[in-house]
Amino acid sequence: MRGKLLDQIVTEQVPVAVELSPDLVSLCAGGNDLLRPGSDPDAMAKKLARAVRDLRATGADVLLFTGVDPRDTPLMRRMRGKFAIFYLHVRSIADLYGCRLVDQWSMQGLRDWRAWSTDRLHMNEDGHRLVAARVLDMLGVPVEDSWQITWPERLVDPRAKRREDAVWIREHLVPWVSRRIRGASSGDGLSAKRPDLTPFS
């Protein structure tokens, strides 16, 4: 769930998934933790590994995800080394427990801002379609969309870019910094949309 930290996912969501005895589990976690000062990618990896071990013990296939390379994001590129360490751990965990790995780090289509929402932290519909296509490709499911796309060239007006940056700072960066100072997460207090196993209509 968006905004949740690794500890919250491991303690609140993984046990529920284990009880359901699923055939397939997708687990994408750790990105929110990595954005926080003082986060330890080695300690995070140990927690993730325990969760994956518990899920694999049910007989379920587990789909793990690396994050996107933050090198094109000015505020996040300084933390690139920490991101890289954690996602190398994710690769190792996938190998160790026989999981499928969706490598978003290598997806060049996600390096374009047209794949991202206005907060510059979460993908928009186009970005999610790319990842969905990669997941289906990983699972061997035929899909019309391709995750290997090249965006058409786009000319950006520097003045418009400065206006966009100003809006982003006011509407997204300042609230995000404020939550970090308070030790809060955007996922705090949110419950799952579908906490129980029910059929889709």
- What are 81-96's pLDDT values in tens digits? 999 999 999 999 999 9
Please report, rounded to a whole number, the percentage of residues in the chain having pLDDT higher than 70.
89
Residue 120 DSSP symbol = S
Distance of CA 14 to the CA centre of its chain: 16
Collapsing DSSP to helix, strand or coil, 64 comes out as strand
In the prediction, which pLDDT does 178 show? 79
Bridge partners for 27 per DSSP: 64
Domain parsing of the chain, residue ranges: 1-106, 107-154, 156-185
Q: Indicate whether 179 pLDDT > 70.
A: yes
One-letter amino acid of 92: S
* DSSP label at residue 123: B
Six token digits for residue 15 = 């046990």
Q: What does the mean pLDDT of the chain come to? A: 87
How do residues 38-60 score in pLDDT, each as one tens digit? Answer: 899 999 999 999 999 999 999 99
Mean predicted confidence (pLDDT) in 186-190: 60
CA atoms within 13 A on the CB side of 28: 15
pLDDT for the residue 28: 96
pLDDT at site 188 = 60
Does the domain formed by 1-106 have CATH 2.60.120.620?
Answer: no
Angle between helices 80-97 and 41-56 (to 10 degrees): 20
The CA–CA distances, whole Å, from 146 to 70, 126, 172 equal: 22, 11, 31
Q: How far apart are CA 44 and CA 58, in angstroms?
A: 22
